[in-house]
Amino acid sequence: MERMLVVIFDDETKAYEGKSALRQLEREGSISAYAGAVVARKADGTTSVKQFDDFGPVGSLVGTSLGSLIGLLGGPAGLAIGAASGLALGATFDLENARVGGDFVDDVSKSLKPTKVALIAEIEEDWTTPVDTRMEALGGTVLRRALSDVREDVREKDIAAMKADLAQLKAEAAKARADRRAKLQSRIHQLKEKIDAQQQDAKERRRALRTREKVKRDILKKNAAAAGRALKQLASTRL
């Protein structure tokens, strides 16, 4: 299952150890990690990105979710993003882009108290024990949430509503006088443009998602192969 993982640590050293543990779990085939960041909450309550990494080639595609969550945690006035972080400021404050519920953002924000440091990552995991065991051993508090894509549902409802308005406007235009018909035709044209733009955006997003899923499958195959080699080597090891 694809999840947003947040692990709260007392200091940066432990957070970086947690990041190394994630990489080790990936090498072992226990998880796939796509993108991650180390984020610190300062004593004054502001939030800063200490480090940002693409764990794999898919990182640049899914960074929007990660960046959005980080942006929501820091807020427009309380987030300091380094130039090398790779996060787009214009996409950092959108709950839909974060693909997690507002309650999860609240939980993380409450846990990320001043002077605390968070390791945040988008991962794929079949079960939670490997990550929990490693992170808890480092003193980390683990929060996670399955990622969802609510944007398409919202978009489809918006398009359906606009199409209903369009149908009504066309029906009115067919019966209206010439002066009124001209105004209605202008509104019809504007609404058509909005519908076309929404449909084009949806098409591009679906294409990006298909690309992401393909790369994710490749990563999972790579990890499965690595896990298979490790098991084979273990089986041949003399006790």
Per residue in 142-199, pLDDT tens? 999 888 755 666 678 788 888 999 999 999 999 888 888 888 999 899 999 999 988 8
- The pLDDT value recorded for residue 114 is 92
- pLDDT tens per residue, range 3-13: 889 999 999 99
Which residues, 6+ apart, have CB-to-CB distance to 85 below 8 Å? 37, 49, 52
Q: Which secondary structure element, helix H or strand E, spans residue 190, and what is its range?
A: helix 178-235
- The pLDDT value recorded for residue 147 is 81
Whether residue 224 has pLDDT greater than 60: no
- The pLDDT value recorded for residue 217 is 59
Strands 47-54 and 141-146: unpaired
pLDDT band at 219 (very low <50, low <70, confident <90, very high): low
Mean pLDDT score, 78-105: 55
pLDDT band at 213 (very low <50, low <70, confident <90, very high): low
- The pLDDT value recorded for residue 56 is 45
Give CA–CA dist 191/188, Å, rounded.
5
Which residues, 6+ apart, have CB-to-CB distance to 162 below 8 Å? 191, 194, 195, 198
- The pLDDT value recorded for residue 14 is 96
* Max avg pLDDT among 44-53, 207-216, 221-230: 44-53
- The pLDDT value recorded for residue 220 is 55
Whether residue 75 has pLDDT greater than 80: no
- Judge whether 65 and 31 are in contact, CB under 8 Å: no
Whether residue 91 has pLDDT greater than 50: no
Enumerate the β-bridge partners of residue 125: 31
What average pLDDT is seen over the chain? Answer: 77
pLDDT band at 73 (very low <50, low <70, confident <90, very high): confident
What sign has the CA pseudo-torsion 39, 42, 46, 50?
Answer: negative
- The pLDDT value recorded for residue 153 is 66
Per DSSP, the three-state class of 60 is helix
Mean pLDDT score, 208-230: 59
